[in-house]
Structures are given as C-alpha cells and as structure tokens.
Chain A
Amino acid sequence: MDRQKRRDLVLIALLLALAGLLWLILRPSRAGAWVVVRVDGEEWGRYALDPDRTVVIEEKGRNVLTIQHGSAAITQADCGDHTCIRTGQISRSGETIICLPHGLVVQVVGGAEPEVDGTVG
C-alpha cells in the first residue's frame, strides 16, 4: 500500500476516533429539570419540565414549544426546513433543539429543584 493511501487510512481512523470521543464527552445523560429558551444567545425564557405547558416564541419567526410528560419538543414552526420539529423530544441535561433561521436554542438544564415554575423574558 503506498504512503499516501496509508496516510489516508490513518486520517480516516483518527477522524472516526475523534467522533467517538466527542460522542462520549458530549452525550447527555442526566435527566433535566428546566428548559432554557435562548434567541440569538440571549435568554428569553426558562420553564420547568414538570407541569405540561405550551409556549409560543415569536421573536424572529414562530415556534411553538410543547412541554409534555417531562420532555420538550417544538411542535410548530414557520421556518423553511422544520429541522427543529424533526429533532424530536429532549429531556436530558445538555440536549438541545435548534432552529437556526430563528436563532432559537432550546436547551435542557438539569439539577436542583427549581424555585419558580417559569419566567418569561
């Protein structure tokens, strides 16, 4: 096998190993307690995963966040691709739903029992 092809294979192996490593590091595991909604990096609202509720976010476009049975999901959106909807449900600390065209990041954060149910920014 010539040198170039050997280096190609090493590169591929390294990239796959990197992917595996990142997956282990970034993998969400702990159950979450809140969802934090950010638009363009600024916190817009924070909601507990506990009582079921529906939140409508209309900052740069329209997204409907539905919190149900301890998990959150975007159920409606008027963005072009609906990737946010197809991401599905999130419930573990660190998991996120992103709606890129609307600058929206919905992230589960975990830990201590929240003092208030939710705030609206």
Chain B
Amino acid sequence: MRSKRLARYGLLLALALVFSYLESQIPLSMAVPGVKLGVANIVVMFALYRLGGRAACLLSLLRVALVSATFGNAFSFWYSLAGAGLSLAVMLSMKRSGWFGCGGVSVAGGVCHNLGQIAVAMAVLHSTAAAAYLPVLLCSGVVAGVCIGLVSAVLIRRIPA
C-alpha cells in the first residue's frame, strides 16, 4: 500500500532529522571533529532490520541531503555522504551475511561512518594528517555503535509491525 509506506518513511525520516539536529546541539568532543553518538542511526538500523535494505538506504541518503540542506553546507554534504555511504554498504553486507548481530552491524556502521569522513578529509587536504584522529574516532565509534545497537535491538524487537 503505497501511501502507507510513504507515511511510514516520512515519519522515520522526520525522526532521523530531529535526532540529527538534537545531536548537533550537544558537542561531545571539543578538539576532535566527528565524535558523535550517531543517534540517527537508530532509524537506519530499524529500517534495515524491519523494512529492508532499500528503505535503509533511502532514509539514510535523504537524511544526509536534508540535514546538509537545512543546517549544513555544500562542504559538509560530501563528508556526510561519504560517511553514510560507506556505513550503509558495510551494514548491508554484514546484515545479509548473517554473521553478526545488531550490535556488530551498528558498531561497524558507526566506525565506517567516521572512516568515510576521514577518507574524504584526506583527499580534500591532500594530506594524511586527518589519519591522526583514527584512534579516537575508532574508539568513540565502537562505544557509540554499542549504545545505538542496544537501543536499536530493543526497538526492532518490540515495535509492533
């Protein structure tokens, strides 16, 4: 039923936007850019496990586009896109393989998001300087991924169809 799906996606997208916005208001790290909880990933995880890979991709990419259009800039768009793109690709293949649970998929998603952003930063700066942030971002990505994974797992299990 098309309109029902549209409404559902719209709702999830709005939720992801609100999460992104709220999160941007609470800076987690002063000196290291990119350290964040990734709360919007809860929506992506939910979509991935309950609605399918296509829904997850659509929601994630739309979220990136809208967030950078409303409170970002052309610059941040490419970073977010790279991060979200890599994150999605990895999450999709990990889920499909069946080897990992929600926690692992979420952790990989979070870490890959940061990796994608660092890769773009290195390309833009023509320098490997950004790689210095890897240790911090890997750790924060793991911690955030675990938290998000836990919340997502509960929602995936409990929210009625």
Chain A residues at the B interface, C-beta cutoff of 8 Å: 2-5, 7-8, 11-12, 15-16, 18-20, 22-23, 26, 38, 40-42, 80-81, 83, 86-88, 94-96, 98, 100-101, 103, 105, 107
Q: Given known contacts A4-B100, A8-B104, is B138 in contact with A18 (CB within 8 Å)?
A: yes
Shortest distance between the CB of B106 and any CB in chain A (Å): 9
Kindly identify which residue among B33, B111, B126, B130 contacts A15, using a CB–CB cutoff of 8 Å.
B111
Is B64 on the interface with A (CB-CB < 8 A)? no
Is B45 on the interface with A (CB-CB < 8 A)? no
Chain B residues at the A interface, C-beta cutoff of 8 Å: 30-31, 33, 73, 75, 98-101, 103-104, 107-108, 111, 121, 124-127, 129-132, 134-136, 138-139, 141-142, 146
Shortest distance between the CB of B129 and any CB in chain A (Å): 4
Q: Give the nearest-CB partner of B30 in chain A.
A: A86
Bound-complex Cα distance A8 to B97 (A): 13
Q: Is the CB of B139 within 8 A of A11?
A: no
Kindly identify which residue among B100, B121, B125 contacts A8, using a CB–CB cutoff of 8 Å.
B100
Q: Is the CB of A98 within 8 A of B130?
A: yes
Q: Is the CB of A41 within 8 A of B127?
A: yes
Residues of B within 8 A of A3 (CB): 99
A-B contact count (CB 8 A): 90
Residues of A within 8 A of B129 (CB): 96, 98, 105, 107
Q: Is the CB of A16 within 8 A of B101?
A: no
Chain B interface mostly: helix
Q: Is the CB of A5 within 8 A of B127?
A: no
Q: Is the CB of A4 within 8 A of B101?
A: yes
Residues of B within 8 A of A81 (CB): 33
Q: Is the CB of B111 within 8 A of A5?
A: no
List 11 extra interface pairs beyond A8-B100, A22-B134, CB under 8 A. Answer: A4-B99, A4-B100, A7-B99, A7-B101, A8-B107, A12-B104, A19-B134, A20-B135, A40-B124, A40-B126, A98-B121
